[in-house]
């Protein structure tokens, strides 16, 4: 049996072309401007810096303006929070992204909680997490949203399917489980992690297996049921002196061994990663459109005097 390669690069490119057209219409309309994305990068870890460059390059290609706020590795949490408060208050900024991971001395939960939820294009703020869990409108985390859209692009049904997610991170595993449990998505979801006993027994029950555990080539052929769909979220740099870059990218799945057993599988690179970026830019348009937070002040309009509350205006009985 042969398998399909789920080409995230191609699907993302198609979505970015559509987004570019939508942005042209949006930004050209009366009283509108191009969306603006602020990206905060602390330190200059090579992988983080390269993700930030990839996001900004893709943004520019579709018509989203952006800036990188590049902060020193030893910046204090207070100072970082100061930048976030400034960007929250800046009506010219539609979306704010804090590139993760942050250095050890900074608590990422406090930093993310400081974001204006209406500008949280990564969908990590507790308000957006809560809205996802409850099935209310809000920003969805980019990688889980990208996985769902990639499967949709290949007409891979999730409704009624048994999905096993390997990894419980707040960035991928946990929000993906919540997304797939939504009414209308209707998957049956199991979340496993590095401390799950008899992991292979569970992964073998998956019709769709999503791997986001962060260990190179962790998933081997014995862990996958024949005919399964395998989504590899891992991006691991393995040092390889024979390579011009000095490293190769490998996923969390041993692709060579696993692919022949599957009905469909994502490659690394070129699978989930490009979809993540496409979803980020779609979220940024939605931030500019105030799609999920309609009462958030429009950045291209002056603040209007709030109408008095009915209870305050109405005479007491
Ligand atoms: C591709 C990320 C781990 C930790 C922090 C395209 C990306 C990656 C791969 C990318 C990732 C991974 C991002 C490919 C953003 C995905 O062609 O396969 C794009 O830029 N990603 C991130 O911002 O932070 C991470 C992985």
Are 180 and 257 contained in the same domain?
Answer: yes
The residue annotated as part of the active site, out of 94, 122, 252, 254, is 122
| pLDDT for res 317 | 46
How far is Cα 65 from Cα 71, in angstroms, rounded to an integer? 20
Q: What is the CATH number of the domain that holds 170?
A: 3.40.50.720
pLDDT at position 1: 79
**Which ligand 1 atom is at minimum distance from the Cα of 268?**
18
For residue 297, indicate whether it is catalytic.
no
Q: What is the pLDDT of residue 239?
A: 94
Q: Are residues 236 and 171 in the same domain?
A: yes
Quick check: helix, strand or coil at residue 146?
Answer: helix
Summarised one tens digit per residue, pLDDT across range 242-278 is: 999 999 999 999 999 999 999 999 999 999 999 999 9
pLDDT digits (tens, 9 = 90+) for 118-154: 999 999 999 999 999 999 999 999 999 999 999 999 9
Question: Is 195 contained in some domain?
Answer: yes
* 48 has pLDDT over 60: yes
Atom nearest to 235 CA in ligand 1: 26
Tell me: the pLDDT tens digits for 53-83?
999 999 999 999 999 999 999 999 999 999 9
Q: 65: domain range?
A: 30-118+290-310
Q: Domain for residue 16, yes or no? A: no
Q: Please check whether residues 190 and 259 belong to one and the same domain.
A: yes
Same domain for 83 and 175, yes or no, is: no
Pocket flag, ligand 1, residue 269 (CB < 6 Å): yes
301 is catalytic: no
85 shares its domain with 187: no
The predicted pLDDT at position 78 comes to 98
The size of the chain, in residues, is 317
Q: What are phi and psi of 237, to 5 degrees?
A: -90, 115
* Cα dihedral across residues 293, 294, 297, 299: positive or negative: positive
The mean pLDDT value for 78-92 works out to 98
- Look up tokens 């072309």; give the residue: 17
Residue 169 lies in a domain: yes
CA 59 to chain centre: 15
- Does the annotation count 109 as an active-site position? no
Residues 251, 166 within the same domain: yes
Q: How far is the CA of 168 from the centre of ligand 1 (A)?
A: 17
Helical H segments across the chain, by residue range: 8-28, 46-62, 77-89, 108-114, 126-134, 142-153, 173-181, 199-203, 255-258, 272-288, 310-313
Q: What is the tally of structural domains in the chain?
A: 2
Instruction: Name 208's bridge partners.
Output: 163, 229
Residue 191's pLDDT is: 98
Are residue 105 and residue 39 in the same domain, yes or no?
yes
Q: Is 128 inside a domain boundary?
A: no
Residue 146 Cβ < 6 Å to ligand 1: no
Give distance in angstroms: CA of 316 to centre of ligand 1: 58
Catalytic residue of the set 94, 99, 116, 120: 99
């Amino acid at each position: 049996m042969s398998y399909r390669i789920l080409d995230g690069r191609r699907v993302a490119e198609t979505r970015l072309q559509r987004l570019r057209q939508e942005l042209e219409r949006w930004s050209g309309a009366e009283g509108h401007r191009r969306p603006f994305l602020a990206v905060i990068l602390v330190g200059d870890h090579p992988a983080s810096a390269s993700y930030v460059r990839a996001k900004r390059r893709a943004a520019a290609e579709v018509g989203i303006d952006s800036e990188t706020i590049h902060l020193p590795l030893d910046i204090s949490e207070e100072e970082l929070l100061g930048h976030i408060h400034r960007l929250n208050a800046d009506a010219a900024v539609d979306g704010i992204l804090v590139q993760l991971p942050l250095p050890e001395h900074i608590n990422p939960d406090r930093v993310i909680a400081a974001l204006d939820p209406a500008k949280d294009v990564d969908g990590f703020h507790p308000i957006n997490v809560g809205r996802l869990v409850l099935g209310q409108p809000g920003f969805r985390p980019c990688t889980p949203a990208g996985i769902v859209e990639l499967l949709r692009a290949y007409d891979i049904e999730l409704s009624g399917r048994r999905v096993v997610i390997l990894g419980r991170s707040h960035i991928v595993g946990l929000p993906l489980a919540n997304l797939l449990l939504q009414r209308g998505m209707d998957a049956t979801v199991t979340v496993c992690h590095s401390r799950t006993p008899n992991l292979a027994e569970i992964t073998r029950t998956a019709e769709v297996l999503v791997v986001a555990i962060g260990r190179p080539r962790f998933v081997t052929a014995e862990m996958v049921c024949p005919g399964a769909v395998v989504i590899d979220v891992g991006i691991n740099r393995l040092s390889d002196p024979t390579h011009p870059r000095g490293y190769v990218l490998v996923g969390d799945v041993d692709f060579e061994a696993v692919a022949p057993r599957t009905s469909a599988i994502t490659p690394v690179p070129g699978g989930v990663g490009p979809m993540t970026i496409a979803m980020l830019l779609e979220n940024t348009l939605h931030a500019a459109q105030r799609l999920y937070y309609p009462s958030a002040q429009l950045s291209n309009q002056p603040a209007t005097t709030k109408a008095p509350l009915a209870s305050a205006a109405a005479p007491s009985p």
